[in-house]
Amino acid sequence: MLNNIGPAGFIIIAIVVLVLFGRGKVSALMGEVGKGITSFKKGLKDGSDEIEKAPEDTSATSARDITPERDKDKV
């Protein structure tokens, strides 16, 4: 659908948005979008840093079998 719009269509859409919402509202919206993108990038970076700092000893973080002894032979 967006393949058929072209540059002139985007300009018309931008003008309609500016007329409907005003310059201040659009500017505030773009500021919020920018903050959201920055926050998303920071979250990705924090997540990758956390993965890199994960302990090398996986025995502490691996899953443990907590099934009671009397139920282990039941399948």
Which percentage of the chain shows pLDDT scores above 70? 83
Q: What is the DSSP string of 16-30?
A: HHHHHH-HHHHHHHH
The answer to whether residues 41 and 32 touch, using CB atoms and an 8 Å cutoff, is no
Residue 74 has pLDDT above 90, yes or no: no
Residue 75 has pLDDT above 80, yes or no: no
Q: Is the dihedral of CA 19, 25, 31, 33 positive or negative?
A: negative
Residue 18 has pLDDT above 70, yes or no: yes
